[in-house]
A and B are shown apart, each in its own frame.
Chain A
């Protein structure tokens, strides 16, 4: 669990806006993603949450180079994907797959299920002739579709079944990493659980790594090992799923968690709710300093001026907020995490916390000594 699969360094994805017909001039930029750094660990599910327009989908697409990032590095297997040409990228793409939100728009209505699932096999020359059909039927079996339906068209399937087709297609060339962009939000509640369980089973079976993008915090918490919270193109907080829920540090995370309704009237009655005022500002013209300061109930003067650095408040718990105490780490967030889990052997969590506490006391005594 501790090996880094993909490292994202200072990822920026800006979309230029042009004006003028003859002399097109760049007038401004939508800063959809503005300086993200984190690691995706092998075999984990990293949840990426945020409100619409916060850049979470753009991040997913930029990582697998569906958008070519404006700046930054995406390191996968020792290579920086951003510097590779399309031709160089092609063989790598079989490792990087995607499951889309819309099970209607993401399947070609004129192709049969067999062709849809088999296409990646042809593109990457992984099978030929009868081999393709055999593999497709195998994949259909894996995702819980009847292999007899291989010649049917997408419109003959329900939403949940179409999502299974999309999943089978993503699995076709045995990828190591799948970006799941809101894979369940278009489905009915009773079907969502089927797809979530399927994705969990597949992960176990094939050792997949997921980047699970969704706005539904409850679903993300359920499926993810670690969760990254984004706001306006920046990272607000990144921590273990349990920590994010039980001990959120960023005011935005707190508000987000308190806003998610829980299906239990008694709990709902007792919960304290932080209702944020106002809307998410435009990424065209993001606020100065901390991008969240315009809606933050705890904002101070410096929040308007200074961009908060990323701090490590507890081992593996990263947060970008002036009001949170913690050790400032440089942009490469997970370097710290790596140190914690050095030598490939998983470090006991309690032990890590304890050693952090020891470090702290050591630091304190040092300071005293200086004084």
Chain B
């Protein structure tokens, strides 16, 4: 695989050339809890291009959801507060928009699918009422026309017998069907941007496959841009054009999906790829876990938040602000040693031996450079 150069195909270039639907710059969302400031999203910038699917990957607490909810102005205030940044959507800064203006955008031009369809549908209202409402409000439709449009949309998302089922209550639908109702609701007004927050995490794999297929088809059909928030690298691999990897409220890496998986530039991305069991590899490869656990974001982190768990951390990683390194078109990494990690080619295809070798090389270099051992810097003992 080392002989194969990164393909700089026309596909990638067109993917990067498309116009921006959403542009987020320097977004900071803090929560003020019990005297502490939790920096849930700390200086995050990203763009969503027209028609693309952007994958947002991270563990719980990485700020992946909060960053997207901030875009919609749905952060509960207090305790949450957006402390800075810009969210440009169609030339308008959503952070400065009034509630009235936001209401015209939410559910109309930007929609959201939540993780748990049971708690995001109103259990007391028939599905028909919940589906007709956005059309009446945003599109000024008559009741009859809205009902017809809703039935049509339910059919499109694959609910059998939509004419009968539209008058049922959410509890009468199964988990997968409820998620379809959610998707239908989100797409009713043909939004330009759809934000899906772990849309399949609560579902079984066979149902997950159905829902992902549906989102893919609808995206092609309607040209909607999709932001897919997930912790599952597999889902991202199958769905996303571009990916941002988040950790402790910051974007660690941004790349086209094929680049990210083939040749990641951040040790955290490498760690994620090595630590998930893969169906196609089976028991052959021992998992290489990421030691320790995510940092407490209520304390200020001067250097790289991943440094205490990083096998390649150097002295400066703990202390100095980390620069963003450009590795190629659309590929940027927030790491001092991004070039070295990138050069080591530690993508998803790398074998355990290659990985061990590369790691030994890097760690060796680190030792010479004032390496702080992982064991010493991790506060509590996690590993046996």
Residue B189 at the chain A interface, CB threshold 8 Å: no
Contact with B along A251-295 (1 / 0, CB 8 A): 000011111111111111000010111011000000000000000
Residue A69 at the chain B interface, CB threshold 8 Å: no
Q: Are A188 and B205 in contact (CB under 8 A)?
A: no
In Å, the complex CA distance between A304 and B274 comes to 44
Contact with A along B247-286 (1 / 0, CB 8 A): 0000000000110011000000001111111111111001
Residue B157 at the chain A interface, CB threshold 8 Å: no
Binding stretch for chain A, among B33-41, B114-122, B206-214: B206-214
Most chain A CB within 10 A, of B232, B235, B271, B283, is at B283
Residue A5 at the chain B interface, CB threshold 8 Å: no
Contact with A along B145-158 (1 / 0, CB 8 A): 00000000000000
Q: Are A264 and B290 in contact (CB under 8 A)?
A: no
Q: Are A188 and B237 in contact (CB under 8 A)?
A: no
Q: Are A262 and B279 in contact (CB under 8 A)?
A: yes
Return the contact of B276 from the options A145, A160, A263 (Cβ within 8 A): A263
Q: CB-nearest residue of chain A relative to B205?
A: A259
Contact with A along B224-247 (1 / 0, CB 8 A): 000000011111111000000000
Q: Are B382 and A265 in contact (CB under 8 A)?
A: no
Return the contact of A194 from the options B283, B381, B382 (Cβ within 8 A): B382
Q: CB-nearest residue of chain A relative to B259?
A: A265
Chain A interface category by residue count? 35 or more
In Å, the complex CA distance between A161 and B294 comes to 13
Residue B204 at the chain A interface, CB threshold 8 Å: yes
- Chain A contacts for B281, CB-based, 8 A: 222
CB within 8 Å for A51 and B237 given contacts A160-B293, A218-B277: no
Write the nearest CB–CB distance from B250 to chain A, whole angstroms. Answer: 16
- Chain B contacts for A219, CB-based, 8 A: 277
Q: CB-nearest residue of chain A relative to B268?
A: A190
- Chain A contacts for B236, CB-based, 8 A: 263
Q: Are A245 and B206 in contact (CB under 8 A)?
A: no
Which residues of chain A in 64-121 are interfacial with respect to chain B, using CB atoms and an 8 Å cutoff? none
In Å, the complex CA distance between A64 and B119 comes to 35
Residue A242 at the chain B interface, CB threshold 8 Å: yes
- Chain B contacts for A362, CB-based, 8 A: none
In Å, the complex CA distance between A280 and B175 comes to 10
Q: CB-nearest residue of chain A relative to B213?
A: A275
Q: Are B231 and A265 in contact (CB under 8 A)?
A: no
Return the contact of A189 from the options B257, B276, B381 (Cβ within 8 A): B276
Q: CB-nearest residue of chain A relative to B257?
A: A265
CB within 8 Å for A241 and B282 given contacts A144-B382, A263-B234, A264-B348: yes
In Å, the complex CA distance between A303 and B288 comes to 44
In Å, the complex CA distance between A158 and B272 comes to 19
Binding stretch for chain B, among A26-34, A130-138, A195-203, A341-349: A195-203
In Å, the complex CA distance between A203 and B276 comes to 20
CB within 8 Å for A217 and B205 given contacts A143-B384, A193-B276: yes
Residue B313 at the chain A interface, CB threshold 8 Å: no
Residue A52 at the chain B interface, CB threshold 8 Å: yes
Q: Are A196 and B287 in contact (CB under 8 A)?
A: yes
CB within 8 Å for A197 and B279 given contacts A158-B293, A279-B207: no
Q: Are B206 and A267 in contact (CB under 8 A)?
A: no
Write the nearest CB–CB distance from A97 to chain B, whole angstroms. Answer: 19
Q: Are B289 and A51 in contact (CB under 8 A)?
A: no
Most chain B CB within 10 A, of A161, A190, A242, is at A190
- Chain A contacts for B234, CB-based, 8 A: 218, 260-263, 268
Residue B17 at the chain A interface, CB threshold 8 Å: no
CB within 8 Å for A189 and B261 given contacts A51-B206, A242-B282, A275-B209: no
Q: Are B289 and A280 in contact (CB under 8 A)?
A: no
Residue A8 at the chain B interface, CB threshold 8 Å: no
In Å, the complex CA distance between A194 and B59 comes to 15
Residue A317 at the chain B interface, CB threshold 8 Å: no
Q: Are A193 and B279 in contact (CB under 8 A)?
A: no
Chain B contact residue count (CB 8 A cutoff): 56
Residue A234 at the chain B interface, CB threshold 8 Å: no
Write the nearest CB–CB distance from B205 to chain A, whole angstroms. Answer: 4
CB within 8 Å for A280 and B282 given contacts A192-B276, A194-B383: no
In Å, the complex CA distance between A256 and B208 comes to 11
Which residues of chain A in 164-191 are interfacial with respect to chain B, using CB atoms and an 8 Å cutoff? 188-191
Contact with A along B97-136 (1 / 0, CB 8 A): 0000000000000000000000000000000000000000
Q: Are A222 and B277 in contact (CB under 8 A)?
A: yes
Return the contact of B204 from the options A52, A193, A242, A265 (Cβ within 8 A): A52
Residue B357 at the chain A interface, CB threshold 8 Å: no
Q: CB-nearest residue of chain B relative to A45?
A: B283
Residue B140 at the chain A interface, CB threshold 8 Å: no
CB within 8 Å for A260 and B60 given contacts A51-B205, A265-B257: no
Which residues of chain B in 146-191 are interfacial with respect to chain A, using CB atoms and an 8 Å cutoff? 174-177
In Å, the complex CA distance between A261 and B212 comes to 10
Most chain A CB within 10 A, of B176, B177, B236, B278, is at B278
Q: CB-nearest residue of chain A relative to B275?
A: A193
Most chain B CB within 10 A, of A201, A264, A277, is at A264
Which residues of chain A in 147-164 are interfacial with respect to chain B, using CB atoms and an 8 Å cutoff? 158, 160-161
Residue A215 at the chain B interface, CB threshold 8 Å: yes
In Å, the complex CA distance between A205 and B145 comes to 68
Q: Are A190 and B278 in contact (CB under 8 A)?
A: no
In Å, the complex CA distance between A320 and B267 comes to 45
Write the nearest CB–CB distance from A203 to chain B, whole angstroms. Answer: 12
Q: Which 3 A-B pairs have the closest CB atoms?
A: A261-B234, A144-B384, A193-B289
Apart from A161-B382, A190-B272, A224-B283, list 9 A-B contacts with CB within 8 A.
A144-B383, A158-B293, A193-B275, A194-B383, A218-B277, A221-B277, A223-B283, A273-B213, A280-B204
Q: Which residues of B contact A (CB under 8 A)?
A: 59-60, 174-177, 204-210, 212-213, 231-238, 257-258, 261-262, 271-283, 286-291, 293-294, 309, 348-349, 380-384
Q: Which residues of A contact B (CB under 8 A)?
A: 51-52, 141-146, 158, 160-161, 188-194, 196-198, 200-201, 215-219, 221-224, 241-242, 245, 255-268, 273, 275-277, 279-280
Offer 29 A-B interface pairs, CB within 8 angstroms, sorted by A: A51-B206, A144-B383, A161-B380, A161-B382, A189-B275, A189-B276, A190-B275, A194-B290, A194-B383, A196-B287, A215-B204, A219-B277, A222-B278, A223-B283, A241-B282, A256-B205, A257-B279, A259-B206, A259-B209, A261-B237, A262-B234, A263-B233, A263-B236, A264-B261, A265-B261, A267-B237, A268-B237, A279-B175, A279-B207
